[in-house]
Amino acid sequence: MKILIINGPNLNLLGTREPEIYDSRPMNSILEELNQEFSSTEIIYFQSNIEGKIIDCLQKNDYDAVIINPGAYTHYSYAIADALKNISKPKIEVHISNIYQREEFRQKSVTAPYTNGIISGFGLDSYRLAMLSLIQK
């Protein structure tokens, strides 16, 4: 199985950006942990601050499932939502923080309706929970 993990804007700052909300571990450390725990699964990682590059990555279609943390694009990117809508493979949206405990504008996801599920509020473990869900199906 090949799982694509996509992170949107500012998620390249994990480990330094508001660690009280987003954890103090960098994403490369999480990817190492995921690769160790799920060694029989190929993990492809992509991060971009550019909406179009995220869409291009989704449309490559060279994976079996998607874990996406659209970051701020969660709340207003109808372009990413449309890209997700047109992918028939399993998709899980993840958020490190519980978006429903945050500011009102962060509580709406325009991308989630086009995924199979959403995992929010489990810190960086959200990625691990998404992996487990996809592998068990």
Domain total in the chain:
1
* Residue range(s) defining the domain that contains residue 108: 2-136
Annotated binding site for substrate: 69, 75, 82, 96-97, 106
Instruction: Determine what percent of the chain is predicted with pLDDT higher than 70.
Output: 85
Q: What are phi and psi of 35, to 5 degrees?
A: -65, -35
Among the options 73, 95, 114, 127, which is catalytic? 95
Tell me, what amino acid is at 50? I
Give me 6's structure tokens. Answer: 């996509």
Which CATH number covers residue 130? 3.40.50.9100
Q: What are phi and psi of 50, to 5 degrees?
A: -110, 120
Mind listing the pLDDT tens digit for each residue in 33-78? 999 999 999 999 999 999 999 999 999 989 999 999 999 899 999 9
* Closest alpha carbon to 13 in 71, 77, 94: 71
How far apart (Å, rounded) are the C-alpha atoms in residues 92 and 111? Answer: 10
127 catalytically annotated: no
